[in-house]
Structure 1
């Protein structure tokens, strides 16, 4: 059977018969969340990388958790991965920057291309792939005893990049500014990163990722442990970064997906089958006029 590659807004007719459900009697929600408003026209092309996953399948030992997932994540866009727990969203995200291979007995098939180059090419160094495709986790993970300043520049050593003090100073200010944290911490850069609030720690982790100048930034439920005020600030930061860094975010919050993303991919694992993409397309269309009834049921809270 040929590998499954879904086009944007792929209808249910492109999926296997085993994946179908009978249409629900309920109509879609009459007032779906309003998607992220269009940004001002760009004066130049977006600077992020073009990420493309091609027919990705994944296993943990004998258990298959993803089945032939293909997804295009273009520069200048925020892509949200949505779906119930256990459908493979976080696994897929970790595959994109080669974290999946760190799990014992984890294997995969398919390709991940960044600007046309295979991330898993044996000739490509792991540190190079991680620098190009950064990761922000669900729980903020700054180095707690390390200063705010040293947290930001920590990635330079890991990627083998050398920089003088003046360059580091500029990089710290630039990265913290882009992460929306500079004004709050500029007067206490020598204080421990672990002393910051949860929301500030998460933005510090974003700044740390940005300091190595990634082409793509992956976010695995970055706001799930944060209060509403911190969540709003992280969402604002995502919007501000979108033209410079391609962003892929996993979220269980449908309102958040509607607010921050340009396009969505709905993952689902049914009746013990591996996770697959049911539907993929512009966020507004996914919420207002989904082509698959399962998508409508999920975004309107009927399951999951």
Structure 2
């Protein structure tokens, strides 16, 4: 069952430079939320805060809360590996372990997060995750071949399968199609729509057409004149694209800047 994520008054710094200012956003269960806005407005920083990656950067600081089904993932005593298991991440550039087999790539996250799966159940898990990532039919005869031998689009779907293996409640995606050709992009988008029935998805994208195609809700980030990033407005994607409340949103989604 999908979970919901709430960011409350998040502010973030890199050293003395403030990059986000009191950002709040609800990401509903079983929906795709797209984060849009120009480069440098804090979208990727916000995404990394959502699964505790921001805190690993030297000099990075954070204020505010991230609530997963009402529980703060930054609460004292909550383990980092627990947050990473619940909230998976797919990066801009496909990053499978290149020398590791397709099969072992899918199961790699189990060890990293301390997730126990009986050896007898692993074959079933690998097939299930590759199927959910839209890759099973393409690689079922190549499971013992290196993941690095797959095409770029296949590698990205392999990374999605690897994330799904630990049964995340949320899946974060940072421009997952930016390095892919149109055919691979379309397949990833189909995968996103299929997965959203079971996993809550938050995606950063610079492609407005993609945001319109895959997301249910949108949040428009902006950082003006060297000020920290904020959310100008957020809401249902169709409303954001057809009748936004703020002129800056209209200018951005219609391509007049950014």
TM norm structure 1:
0.84
d(CA) in 2 for partners of 1:160 and 1:202?
23
Give the aligned partner of residue 19 of structure 1.
none
Task: Tell me, yes or no, if the aligned pair for 1:75 and 1:243 is still in contact at 8 Å.
Answer: no
Q: Residue deviations 1:164-221, cap 9 Å, x none?
A: 2221111100000000000000111000000000000000000000000000000000
Give the aligned partner of residue 158 of structure 1.
112
Give the aligned partner of residue 103 of structure 1.
57
Q: Residue deviations 1:76-129, cap 9 Å, x none?
A: 110000000000000000000000001000001000000000000121110000
Counterpart of 1:69 in 2: which secondary structure? strand
d(CA) in 2 for partners of 1:121 and 1:254?
35
- Unaligned stretches of 5+ residues in structure 1: 1-46
d(CA) in 2 for partners of 1:182 and 1:166?
19
- Residue among 209, 229, 235 paired with 1:281: 235
d(CA) in 1 for partners of 2:186 and 2:251?
26
- Unaligned stretches of 5+ residues in structure 2: none
TM norm structure 2:
0.99
- The alignment status of 1:144 with 2:120, answered yes or no, reads no
d(CA) in 2 for partners of 1:161 and 1:84?
37
- Residue among 45, 69, 90 paired with 1:91: 45
- Whichever of the two has the greater Rg, that structure is 1
Counterpart of 1:274 in 2: which secondary structure? coil
Q: Residue deviations 1:117-160, cap 9 Å, x none?
A: 00001211100000000000000000000000000000111111
Give the number of aligned pairs. 258
- Residue among 124, 130, 149 paired with 2:78: 124
d(CA) in 2 for partners of 1:80 and 1:301?
17
d(CA) in 1 for partners of 2:230 and 2:115?
38
Task: Tell me, yes or no, if the aligned pair for 1:57 and 1:67 is still in contact at 8 Å.
Answer: yes
Give the aligned partner of residue 181 of structure 1.
135
Counterpart of 2:206 in 1: which secondary structure? coil
Q: Residue deviations 1:247-293, cap 9 Å, x none?
A: 00000000000000000000000011000000100000000000000
1:166-205 correspondence to structure 2 within 5 Å: 166-205=120-159
Give the aligned partner of residue 248 of structure 2.
294
d(CA) in 1 for partners of 2:130 and 2:172?
18
For the aligned residues, what is the CA RMSD? 0.5
1:16-95 correspondence to structure 2 within 5 Å: 47-95=1-49
Give the aligned partner of residue 6 of structure 1.
none
Give the aligned partner of residue 257 of structure 1.
211
